[in-house]
Homo-oligomer: A and B are copies of this chain.
């Protein structure tokens, strides 16, 4: 496995979040000599919000979470294992989820409906759960210095680095902490590289407000990244609020006291989403596609994703080729409203087209220079309306083919 040249240089220290306890274990489901099981125990009354893959073939764990989240269940435990996704294992897979969670519920004296769970790893192989339960039963917890870094490590599959971030913000004068961990190696491969992210806070916020805040944050971050347009059967983002800080209870997502919290949650999700793209196997460049002037925000995002998903655009960027014709093509094929003669395209801040043709004195030199860097910025103004969006992706390289052409062996 290649280490992406885009790995961040600095990682933060991770403070505690009140009202939860993290343990990681070496359950040896598939991986050896590393932790592969994460348990997080939450205080009574912890509120949960979640966003899940829209796949029509999603895994038993995702179905479980969706069902209990909808019923309004509080979160008392989060269990995540890596190595085996238990996806596409039919009725037997569903029974195994029920079996594992019933056992954990009994052990921790909670209801199984209060347990949220994800599994990530090879698909099509039944997760028996015995290994998991054995290590939990003897409480064979790993010795770790920082629980959040251990947690981020335990949920990795093909990731080349652990992904985590933190913010400290005030709600009505009281300080709360928000920690996030994530995994996903950008390829969004269904077997192993599922995108998972968990957000932990000691803020005291209602379930409905949390869900609204999470929906907006995910739309601008995890749902605005693409590596190869493929979607996992297990993608999950969960937000847990223990309420254990001194901050007052807040019921409404629009409450002005939540301004800092909302902004910090947006930032954390975006940071994790960008790290997932940067960890894309084969990725050598991080690409930001900004769309302005679209019919509306929805259209802007569809156009942005059409550019970011185009193999022709992504291979051109890998080759540091300022091939703006492929951007025009990708706008055209998106199916969204576009007027050829109004489209303005800039790369690296240098305007290339206007009035439906190349600018008069177009000099490709500064554009090519920009494309030789690790960060490539594409700006498109459709000149139609106020719709805007930002989408993030990476280039399509030989490394991607190498890794994915024979991944399982």
Contact = CB atoms under 8 A, between A and B. Distances in A.
A289 to B, nearest CB: 16
Interface string A211-247: 0000000000000000011111100000000000000
A408 interface: yes
A401 B400 CA distance: 10
Contacts of A230: 310-312, 326, 329-330, 333
A120 to B, nearest CB: 13
A93 interface: yes
Interface in A370-409: 396-398, 400-402, 404-409
A393 to B, nearest CB: 12
A103 interface: no
Interface stretch (A40-48, A72-80, A175-183, A185-193): A185-193
Contacts of A142: none
Contact of A404 (B231, B315, B324): B315
A90 B357 contact: yes
Interface centre among A55, A57, A402 (most CB of B within 10 A): A57
Interface in A293-351: 309-312, 315-316, 318-321, 323-326, 328-338, 340-341, 343
Contacts of A406: 316, 319-321
Contacts of A88: 325, 328, 340, 353, 356-357
Contact of A93 (B89, B331, B357): B357
A332 B233 contact: yes
In this complex, the interface size class of chain A, counting residues with CB under 8 Å from chain B, is 35 or more
Contact of A231 (B124, B329, B396, B402): B329
A329 B57 contact: yes
A97 to B, nearest CB: 14
A132 B316 CA distance: 31
A170 interface: no
Nearest to A123: B325
A92 interface: yes
Interface centre among A320, A332, A334 (most CB of B within 10 A): A332
Contacts of A401: 315, 318, 396-398, 400-401
Contacts of A335: 54, 56
A353 B93 CA distance: 14
Contacts of A316: 404-407
Contacts of A405: 315-316, 318-319, 321, 397
